[in-house]
Structures are given as C-alpha cells and as structure tokens.
Amino acid sequence: MIPLFTAQPSVKNMEDATSSNPQSLGFTDKLKSWLSWSWTYICAVWFAMVLTMIYVLRSPLKLQDTLTSASVFLNTLTPKFYVALTGTSSLISGLILVSCNDHRVICSLIVDTTSGNRLSPDPVSQVNISPTKINDTMTLSFAECKVWRNPLNLFRGAEYSRYTWVTGKEPLTYYDMNLSAQDHQTFFTGDTQQIKAEDTVMQKAWRERNPQARIRAAYQAIEMNHECAAAYVLLAEEEATTITEAERLFKQALRSGKREQRFQRISQGCDSGKDINLLVYIKRRLAMCARKLGRIKEAVKMMRDLMKEFPLLGMLNIHENLLEALLELQAYADVQAVLAKYDDISLPKSATICYTSALLKARAVSEKFSPEAASRRGLSTAEMNAVEAIHRAVEFNPHVPKYLLEMKSLILPPEHILKRGDSEAVAYAFFHLQHWKRAEGALNLLHCTWEGTFRIIPYPLEKGHLFYPYPGCTETADRELLPTFHEVSVYPKKELPFFILFTAGLCSFTAMLAMLTHQFPELMGVFVKAVSPALLFH
C-alpha cells in the first residue's frame, strides 16, 4: 500500500498559502486591543477604587451625618408617597414598552413595503410576504444558516496535509470533514437499488475518520473493481501529495467511469443523479488542477463546457471558479459578462459575486482616486457607483474587508462555508486578495469607504439596506467550521472607541495616584522626588 505522505513538502511550498498573511499590528492597534480586552477589569478596578475613596474620605465628606439626615427624611415620608411612586413608575415603564413595540412594528412594515427593491441572499426570501407575517418571516430568515460546499476548496493530500506537516496544526475541523464525508457518501456511491460491492466499501470509506483507513478502503474497492471511479477520486483527494499526481488520478477516474459505461448512460437519458454528480465533480476538479498548474485558459474552457453541459446545476456554483480564473487572466470584460448573468436580483448572492462586482467598479476609478480631492470636489458618478458597490458587498459580508486590507490573518479556507459568515470571508479573501492587489488603488478605495456601510445600517440585526437583516446565527456555525486557532469574526460587534478606552484608563490611573497621595503623602513625595530628575534628564 502506498503511504499517505510519499514526499516531504518544503516550507517553500507553503509560501503560496501563507503569502497573504498580514503585517504585524502597530503599537496603536496593540494598545487598543489590550485596552479592549482589559475593559472588564478596568471597570472592576474603577468600582473598587471608588468604594475605597469613599471609605477613606468618609470623615472629610461627613458621610455619616449625610446618611443620618437622609434616613430622617425618608422616615418622614408616608405610605401614600411610596404607592404613588410605584404607580407612576409602572405607568412610565408601560408607555416606554408600548412605544418601543410600535417602533419595531413600524420598522418591520417599512422593510416589508420596500422589499421590492431588496436583494435577497437566498431563494427562500423571494416568497411574497404579507405585513401580518413579517415577524415570522424575520425569525425564519434569522434561523436559517445553510452551510454550502466551498466551490474553491483545496485538496486534502496536496494542500491541507502539507500545511499540517509544516505547522503541526489541523486546518480542517471534524465537523467540516464530516460534512464532506456525508456529501461523498450521498452523491458518489451509486444508487441504493443497484449498489455494488465496491460501492458498499466506498460508503464505509467515506465514514472512516482516519485518513489511512480511507485510503486502504479505496484500494480495497479498486481490487474489487479496477474501474471504480469513486475510489480514484478518494485517492486523488487524500493520497496525492502534489497537484500533478492528483490530476493524474482524476483523469484515471474519468477513464474508469467511461469504461464502466456509467458516464456513457448520461448522454442516453438513462443516467442516475449520482453518476452525474460524480462526473461533474471529476471534471470540475480537473479544471481546478489545470488552474493551479498554470494552464488557466484550459481551465476556463473546461469550466465553460461544464456549465453548458449541465446548465441546471447552478447550485454547485461553478461560475465562482470561472470568475476567479478569468480574474487571473485579467479578462475583465468576460468577468463582467458572467456577472451580468449571475448577479441578478432573483438569484442567491455570495461574497464572490458582490465583491467581484465591487472590484470591477472600483478598478475603473481607483487608480486616480484621492480622498482629499474627493472631499473637495465631491464624488463623480463612477466613483459613487464604486462606493455603492463596496457598501453593498460589505453589507452582504462585513468580514471580508479586514482580510483584504490585511488587518486580520488569513488561514486555509474550510471545505464548507456559511454565506455572510467569517468562513465565506476567509475563502473569498484567500483566493481573491491577489486580484485586489493587482488593481492599483482598489484596496485604498476599499479602505477609505468600507466602514461607511455601518453608518447606513446602524441596527443590522433588525433591518438592512439592500439585503435582509444580518443573521445572528453565523457565529455558532463559523466556530464549528473554522479551526480553533483562528479568531472568529463576530458581527455586529460593539467596540468602544479607542479615545473612550484611553480616557477611562487615564482617569483610573489619575484616581489611583490621587488616592495613594492622600493615603501616603510622605511616600508619594519621596517617589516624585526620585522620578522627577529622571524625567527631566530624558
């Protein structure tokens, strides 16, 4: 049996996967991060200092006399006063509750009446909804966080395993790999009515948790049937340590399927859905191998032919592979033609669709864009279109800009993604960061404008501007899809401004010095005399 690792990958092979890592954070960013992390402790220290100062200054402030006077005043109040106070408080609370509820209903009705101009991220949201069912619809939209197969997922043996060998970290979670196993077991092992012995072995192979056990099962299936295409697919995914070797095994899988006449039945109309899935999967992976090996025009042709041959399989998002390859060729006219077909209001959106559209519009104006000049003369029509496209993309997935601007570290993308989530942002930025860098000034325009989206939608969980409200369930799903060493982005995340954090820290430090000076005047005097010469010398 051939071992899983037949060649030792070098660190140089990891440069492509790690070339998008951001630069180290500056001192200001580190200080802001530290203050944000220590905000809870600062509040606790501040509260303890206030209590301590009250205790220390109890005599100068005459707190005991003040409390005595307050107790005498409260004792003179009659029970009628407390009854009136309780009734007034209850009435005011009820009015506030009713007004807040009316405000939410009005906002929901406004969202519903303007839904004709909205862009829905999924097909479910295209259903016509009456105002009386708006709350149920919002709950459905929030609870539905569907996990999709990543159209650009990497090869386990040739890429994910190399990362593990170099870094010692597992880039894929068990939940993510389990979803892939379910996909393969469901789609690639033939019909249950006509299941063969090798198909039974492959069904067990996909369920195996150990990679070596999966590879052994694949070889066992090949021994039963030398034309078992699903077994060659597994070996290409998991045993091949190079893209060239993976391509060879995928070609063998394609030849085996044709010799077995499973793929030939597709053209005769007596095919099964699982045979189609296996054929499409193999051809798609062959196109991705050609893309990774630099044969980009060949990859584009294979993707176009696949989309023409199976036009109803739009759910596989093959057009996202095509968009990335066309961007690598810098065929921006062809990219625009693909977007014109798939960036439609009736079709589901993705980060690739929204951000590629923003990139094309930003590329037209970014080379000569200057924030200072734009603030003086205002934005031109083309610049306004670019800014609106960026705002639209950020509203759909607000996690992407931090990866594109290298404000957050990139990792290898997972095999499954959650639309509008951090996992989708990682997958998009991993493959498209180079395309944004290639367009001169595009990242600068993104840096200057992307945060303006949050001023347009100050309450993203309640209502959106162009899309439905941001789902609040993405964080839980992303934590299952992304590895533990990755810090999952959370949106909307309420962060206090750096000035407030700095002021709170400065006030706390000043209060602590005042308390120490009041309690230990002689000691603080000696400390000041010792520190003053050093400060004057510097």
Q: How is the chain split into domains, by residue range?
A: 342-493, 496-524
Of 373-377, 400-404, 407-411, 440-444, the one with minimum mean pLDDT is: 373-377
How confident is the model at residue 426, as a pLDDT? 95
The span from the CA of 485 to the CA of 397, in Å, is 22
How confident is the model at residue 325, as a pLDDT? 94
Question: Does 8 score more than 50 pLDDT?
Answer: no
How confident is the model at residue 22, as a pLDDT? 40
How confident is the model at residue 91, as a pLDDT? 60
- The residue that leads in pLDDT, 433 or 74, is 433
Question: Does 6 score more than 90 pLDDT?
Answer: no
Residue pLDDT, tens place only, 19-42? 444 444 456 666 666 666 666 676
Angle at the Cα of 176 (from 171 to 181), degrees rounded to 5? 120
Nearest C-alpha neighbor of 491 from the set 430, 416, 408: 408
Question: Does 148 score more than 80 pLDDT?
Answer: yes
The span from the CA of 450 to the CA of 389, in Å, is 10
In this prediction, residues 120-136 reach a mean pLDDT of 34
In this prediction, residues 291-307 reach a mean pLDDT of 93
Question: Does 463 score more than 80 pLDDT?
Answer: yes
- The residue that leads in pLDDT, 7 or 194, is 194
How confident is the model at residue 113, as a pLDDT? 33
Mean pLDDT over each residue of the chain, to the nearest integer: 75
In this prediction, residues 476-487 reach a mean pLDDT of 91
On whether the CB atoms of residues 347 and 423 are closer than 8 A, the answer is: no
How confident is the model at residue 155, as a pLDDT? 93
HSE-CB at 15 with a 13 A cutoff on CA atoms is 4
How confident is the model at residue 58, as a pLDDT? 60
User: Alpha helices, DSSP H only, in 397-489?
Assistant: 400-404, 422-438, 442-449, 453-456, 474-481
Residue pLDDT, tens place only, 67-109? 666 666 556 655 655 556 566 666 665 555 554 444 443 333 3
How confident is the model at residue 187, as a pLDDT? 75
On whether the CB atoms of residues 461 and 448 are closer than 8 A, the answer is: no
The span from the CA of 412 to the CA of 430, in Å, is 7
The span from the CA of 214 to the CA of 180, in Å, is 13
How confident is the model at residue 133, as a pLDDT? 35
How confident is the model at residue 107, as a pLDDT? 39
How confident is the model at residue 456, as a pLDDT? 85
In this prediction, residues 8-26 reach a mean pLDDT of 40
Tell me which range, 4-13, 38-47, 154-163, 454-463, is most confidently predicted by mean pLDDT: 154-163
- The residue that leads in pLDDT, 99 or 510, is 510
In this prediction, residues 531-537 reach a mean pLDDT of 58
- The residue that leads in pLDDT, 86 or 393, is 393
Task: Please give the structure tokens belonging to residue 411.
Answer: 């990792």
Task: Please give the structure tokens belonging to residue 48.
Answer: 């303890």
pTM to 2 decimals? 0.67
pLDDT level of residue 248 (50, 70, 90 thresholds): very high
Q: What is the DSSP code string of 63-117?
A: HHHHHHHHHHHHHT--HHHHHHHHHHHHHHHHHHHHHHHHHHHHHHHHHHHTGGG
pLDDT level of residue 509 (50, 70, 90 thresholds): confident
pLDDT level of residue 301 (50, 70, 90 thresholds): very high
High-pLDDT (> 90) share of the chain, %: 29
Residue pLDDT, tens place only, 254-272? 888 776 655 555 544 445 5
- The residue that leads in pLDDT, 36 or 370, is 370
How confident is the model at residue 159, as a pLDDT? 92
